[in-house]
A and B are shown apart, each in its own frame.
Chain A
């Protein structure tokens, strides 16, 4: 399973084996298209179904029904005839639909007639003072450890932030015998009122009952502080304390582990490097690709499905994957499309899966104070650049994220802006009195993941490649 691709070209290449990518691959194969599914992790499932085929957590109610819901789709894709390559890092994608892949230290290019990007989401940056200290992690990180290795926190642990994942993680940690000392809820009080107009769709969505039950389960077991308006991680070389403010209350509590979460945002690096147009999404406060109703991007032949297309959750991701794949089938082998469920059926399922999303987006819209830091708080974790550094650069003429690279190297470290990009855009927009859309984002380029020069140099070259650079 872990080899470079067997062929030079495929009808469809799907990048990412989470809900959207698995559904896209299953649909493409069902219509008889040659399909390559590339995924960076050791097994399929993406983040939501991470390690579904290998998790040591076998008691099904520990991880919950939504986790195990992925098992059938994973099995369907594995037995479908799609070529699946795990631990494959896609580091390049261009307008010629050429995909650069690194597997086991060896790189290769494959071509596809259609590419479906299903690279999913990552956690929104949570730039509070001290967030780079050892002992501060994302909630998603703890959930990954829990799902793939059965690891749970066993020392003084604080969860802070907002959104469904935080509560789900808390429930899972406790069910597995882990420890949580406090939950600090940062949901803005005014968001409850703002979300009210969307409440009807939400109470009739599948999220509602599950969410309520989970929050009740947690409140009975863990002290919860709501209305938190300030968070500071303290410690010398290691997390030792968490300080928070809520109303008139201000408290410092000892902690060895702080798990942060304020929602997820599309992982845009590969899509942007391929030249796909993105726009600032004011409701989800992130960059989202400009797509037609089949998921097609501004680059011909490339579609995006799943949370990378705008956050919609796992159920919506599955349907978006099927829609993108069906559109690919209609373009490449129209006769085969009749084997698939009609597009109208998919669109109706998507509408159902997206119910309640506006409510969640509005209720869990992160507060400006947790998105736009100030002073000595680190913004760019890789290059260790603070909010003050960035404002100083703006004061002497840095106009946007790309100019800022020359001033401060922000976004030029190994994470390539994944953990600072949104913060930099919003911080500069605020400082310059512009909109995030006007300020823009880093210009991203391949390789979108670091690969060694030796690996690049040992890639097979054609005569034309060599004559393009050799003189005489």
Chain B
């Protein structure tokens, strides 16, 4: 859906999306890195299981909710990526104990 425009001289780094290594750039938010990586990163909602992707990218819609380093329901559009960050795409309702 999105590509990186040239030139982008920022340092590249790696995050893990459901265990798979994905390249990102320093200064990307988690949501930006996910939208740029080309993988299917749709979450599914807690209410009906409908698939969603980020909508507003500015911290108001909460459609970018994602699990980051074990903490669920973080707003991916507000969190910058860091080397080695573990991202899990949320599917459906939250499970007890997580």
Chain A residues at the B interface, C-beta cutoff of 8 Å: 40-42, 47, 51, 54, 56-57, 87, 89, 105, 122-123, 132-138, 140-142, 144-146, 148-155, 176-178, 237-238, 256-257, 267, 381-384, 413-415, 418-419, 450
Contact = CB atoms under 8 A, between A and B. Distances in A.
Contacts of B28: 148-149
Nearest to B55: A137
B25 A56 contact: yes
A419 B5 contact: no
- By Cβ-Cβ distance, the 9 closest A-B pairs, closest first, are A141-B57, A134-B53, A154-B3, A414-B62, A176-B5, A144-B57, A151-B2, A56-B8, A149-B32
B59 interface: yes
B2 A152 contact: yes
A272 B3 CA distance: 39
A149 B50 contact: no
Nearest to B27: A54
B56 A138 contact: yes
A133 B63 CA distance: 11
Interface in B48-79: 48, 50-63, 65, 71, 73, 77-78
Interface of B: 1-10, 25, 27-29, 32-33, 35-36, 42, 45, 47-48, 50-63, 65, 71, 73, 77-78, 80
Contacts of B42: 134, 237-238
A356 to B, nearest CB: 25
Contacts of A54: 27
A238 B73 CA distance: 22
A122 B47 contact: no
A51 B51 CA distance: 29
Contacts of A149: 4, 25, 27-29, 32-33, 36
Nearest to A419: B61
A450 B9 CA distance: 35
Contact of A140 (B8, B25, B57, B78): B57
Contacts of B63: 132, 381
Contact of A152 (B5, B7, B52, B73): B5
A135 B53 contact: yes
A145 B56 contact: no
B9 to A, nearest CB: 7
Given A154-B2, A384-B47, A414-B73, A47 B58 contact: yes
A257 B2 CA distance: 9
Contact of B1 (A56, A89, A135, A144): A135
A155 B58 CA distance: 22
Q: Which of B5, B32, B59, B65 gathers the greatest number of chain A CB atoms within 10 Å?
A: B5
B47 A151 contact: no
Given A42-B29, A150-B8, A141 B2 contact: no
Contacts of B62: 382, 413-415
A146 B57 CA distance: 11
Contacts of B50: 132, 237, 384
A250 to B, nearest CB: 26
Contact of B5 (A41, A140, A177, A414): A177
Given A42-B80, A56-B10, A151-B3, A122 B35 contact: no
A150 B12 CA distance: 14
26 contacts: A42-B29, A47-B58, A56-B10, A57-B5, A122-B58, A132-B50, A132-B52, A136-B55, A138-B57, A141-B55, A144-B58, A144-B77, A149-B25, A149-B27, A149-B28, A149-B29, A149-B36, A150-B5, A151-B36, A152-B5, A154-B1, A177-B6, A178-B5, A257-B1, A381-B61, A383-B47
A145 B57 CA distance: 8
B82 to A, nearest CB: 11
Contacts of B5: 57, 146, 150-152, 176-178
A145 B78 contact: no
B55 A138 contact: yes
Contacts of B55: 132, 136-138, 141, 381, 419
B3 A152 contact: yes
